[in-house]
Amino acid sequence: MERVSNAMCFGGSQGVYTHHSSATGTPMTFQVFIPEHRTNQTLPVLWYLSGLTCTHANAMEKGHYQRACAEHGVALIGPDTSPRGDDVPDDESYDFGKGAGFYVDATREPWKANFQMRSYIERELPELIADEFPMLDMNRQGITGHSMGGHGALTISLRNPGRFRSTSAFAPIVSPISCPWGEKALGGYLGNDIVAWQQYDACALIKNGARLPDLLVDQGRADQFLEEQLKTHLLEEACRKAGIPHTIRLHEGYDHSYFFISTFIADHVAWHAERLKA
Catalytic residue IDs? 147, 223, 256
- Paired residues of 43 in beta bridges: 136
- Could you tell me if 197 and 230 are in contact, meaning their C-beta atoms sit under 8 angstroms apart? no
Strand, helix or coil for residue 132? helix
Considering only CA atoms, which of 234, 233, 242 is closest in space to residue 214? Answer: 242
**Alpha-carbon gap, residue 217 to 239, rounded angstroms:** 12
